[in-house]
């Protein structure tokens, strides 16, 4: 457990002092890059990470375990290494990293003989008293084990008290107020101040304002928004049976609009609306004056003539742009859908 906290603290000390380094500011390359170490010959997509801080557990959907059959949620230990002396950037995975082994039993609880898609992770800390730290790792996802896709969640609590560490993983639960007789997938939290930069132990929950998701309850897939109480107890809110009224987002078109992901006022999503470059394209919108701006296509630098899908954005300390990660079945990958990343304007 000490290792879990010492790694980010060490990186903070290393990167907070600009003196003696040749490069103080990093930059993610704009060219789309295959996340080679993570991908397989099967379909790998729908990724998420609570935040990026040197190392964390990247979660995504893949049918590798079934050799091309049903989808499971799997994880890889992700790292970002920015060398301030020679200006090089490395993004990859480290199988030897055991910091997040305690989370892997969550996958055993989540995965079934059916399909599990669209993981969304949120990690936050609480301090019950002066001697304890309670670290909660929450994951929302969708499963079709009941027929249509329903949105569920699972969470773990890691308690650090003095020299004692205990972990408890709770069983998956449906988020009843999000589900209907149709398909509901790709949940994500939104708040104008709910940003995912490089902070390690921030309590993000106080900034949650809404839950975003997509559903085909009205025919094609649309993006919906559900307001939640201010400064919520997230777990209690997700378990509640209080009435929540989903509102169809202004982002929608007459085509399929899916996979919303918000980072502060920036929202990214996938759509096969007319005017794109082929299949599903990636779009973005900015929350301003109480509503979303007209969606804009990321352009041919990001999109391809194939399906580009389920984008997420992350920020990283000392970088002057934002990391966009997404899935695509474009040629040149390892097979099927692969995970890709690129730098975008912050």
pLDDT by residue, tens only, the chain of 346 residues: 333 322 232 233 333 344 567 888 888 999 999 988 899 999 999 988 765 555 788 899 999 999 999 999 999 888 888 888 888 888 888 888 888 888 999 999 999 999 999 999 988 888 888 888 888 999 999 999 999 999 999 999 999 888 888 999 999 999 999 999 999 999 999 998 888 764 544 567 888 999 999 999 999 999 999 998 876 689 999 998 777 778 899 999 999 999 999 999 999 999 999 999 999 999 999 999 999 999 999 999 999 999 999 999 988 778 899 999 999 999 999 999 999 999 998 7
- Measured torsion, CA atoms of residues 304, 264, 44, 81, in degrees rounded to the nearest 10: 100
* Contact by Cβ (8 Å): 190, 123: no
**What does the alpha-carbon distance between residue 189 and residue 126 come to, in Å, rounded to a whole number?**
19
Strand 184-190 relative to strand 173-174, pairing: unpaired
Q: Which residues pair with 176 in a beta bridge?
A: none
Where would I find the beta strands (DSSP E) of 83-209?
Answer: 89-93, 116-129, 132-146, 148-161, 164-169, 173-174, 184-190
Q: What 8-state DSSP symbol labels residue 170?
A: P
Among 3.40.50.2000, 2.115.10.20, 3.30.750.210, 3.20.20.110, what is the CATH number of 2-344? 2.115.10.20
Q: Which residues pair with 166 in a beta bridge?
A: 159
Find, among 222, 188, 181, the residue nearest to 204 by Cα.
Answer: 188
**What does the alpha-carbon distance between residue 190 and residue 329 come to, in Å, rounded to a whole number?**
28
């Amino acid at each position: 457990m000490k290792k879990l906290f010492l790694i980010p603290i060490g990186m903070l000390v290393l990167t907070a002092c600009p003196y003696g380094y040749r490069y103080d500011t990093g930059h993610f390359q704009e060219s789309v890059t295959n996340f080679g170490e993570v991908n397989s010959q099967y379909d790998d997509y729908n990724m998420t990470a609570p935040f990026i801080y040197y190392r964390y557990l990247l979660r995504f959907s893949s049918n590798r375990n079934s050799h091309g059959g049903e989808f499971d949620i799997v994880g890889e230990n992700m790292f970002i290494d920015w060398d301030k002396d020679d200006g090089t950037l490395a993004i990859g995975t480290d199988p030897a990293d055991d910091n997040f082994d305690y989370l892997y039993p969550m996958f055993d609880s989540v995965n079934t003989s059916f399909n599990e898609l669209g993981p969304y992770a949120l990690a936050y800390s609480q301090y019950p008293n002066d001697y304890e730290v309670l670290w909660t790792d929450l994951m929302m996802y969708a499963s079709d084990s009941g027929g249509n896709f329903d949105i569920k969640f699972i969470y773990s609590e890691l308690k650090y008290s003095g020299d004692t560490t205990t972990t408890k993983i709770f069983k998956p639960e449906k988020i009843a107020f999000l589900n209907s007789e149709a398909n509901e997938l790709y949940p994500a939290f939104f708040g104008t101040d709910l940003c995912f930069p490089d902070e390690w132990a921030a309590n993000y929950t106080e900034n949650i304002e809404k839950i975003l998701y997509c559903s085909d309850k009205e025919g094609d897939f649309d993006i919906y928004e559900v307001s939640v109480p201010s400064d919520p107890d997230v777990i209690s809110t997700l378990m509640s049976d209080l009435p929540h009224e989903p509102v169809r987002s202004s982002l929608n078109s007459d085509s399929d609009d899916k996979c919303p992901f918000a980072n502060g006022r920036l929202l990214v999503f996938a759509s096969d609306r007319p005017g794109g470059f082929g299949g599903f394209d990636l779009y973005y919108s900015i929350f301003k004056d109480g509503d979303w701006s007209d969606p804009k296509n990321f352009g041919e630098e990001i999109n391809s003539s194939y399906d580009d899908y389920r984008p997420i954005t992350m920020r990283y300390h000392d970088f002057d742009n934002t990391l966009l990660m997404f899935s695509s079945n474009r040629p040149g990958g390892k097979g099927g859908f692969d995970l890709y990343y690129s730098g975008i304007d912050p």
